[in-house]
């Protein structure tokens, strides 16, 4: 099973990775590959027997989302986003990351 996590270096992303590393399964299927994506490099989890790749970049950048889903993940945890305070202070950035990035991922 291939798993993609966007926002992997964020608070929720790190907790999810820790849980997946501990359990190693989703609904009875063993995870074989874990792709982590964030703007900052996250530390890869220790998951013996699992191919872990870490990618950095802007989800809203042209072609970024397409390259992430090219591996045809079975499960996507989309956790990438700009939190409300920062999004309110810089509306254009919040819109681009929170809305355009999400749209690009699911187009």
Identify the pLDDT of residue 78: 93
Non-local CB neighbours of 13 within 8 Å, separated by 6+ positions: 5, 6, 7, 36, 38, 42, 77, 79
CB 46 within 8 A of CB 21: yes
**pTM of structure:** 0.84
Domain hosting residue 80, numbered range: 2-106
- For the segment 71-94, the average pLDDT, to the nearest whole number, is 87
Task: With a cut of 90, say whether residue 80 has pLDDT above it.
Answer: no
Kindly report, residue by residue over 37-66, the tens digit of the pLDDT.
777 777 777 777 788 888 888 888 889 889
49, two tokens: 């027997």
Indicate the number of domains in the chain.
Answer: 1
Say if residue 103's pLDDT is above 90: yes
CATH number at residue 75: 3.40.50.720
Which residues contact residue 18 at a Cβ distance below 8 angstroms, ignoring those fewer than 6 apart? Answer: 45
Cα(90)–Cα(86) distance, integer angstroms: 6
């Amino acid at each position: 099973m291939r798993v993609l996590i966007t926002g992997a270096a964020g608070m929720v992303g790190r907790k999810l990775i820790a849980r997946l590393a501990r359990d190693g399964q989703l609904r009875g299927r063993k995870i074989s590959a874990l792709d982590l994506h964030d703007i900052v490099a996250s530390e890869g989890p220790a998951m013996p027997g699992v191919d872990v790749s870490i990618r950095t970049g802007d989800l809203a950048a042209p072609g970024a989302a397409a390259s992430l889903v090219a591996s045809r993940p079975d499960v996507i945890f989309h956790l990438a986003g700009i939190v409300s305070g920062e999004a309110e202070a810089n509306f254009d950035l919040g819109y681009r990351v929170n809305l355009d990035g999400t749209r690009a991922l699911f187009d």
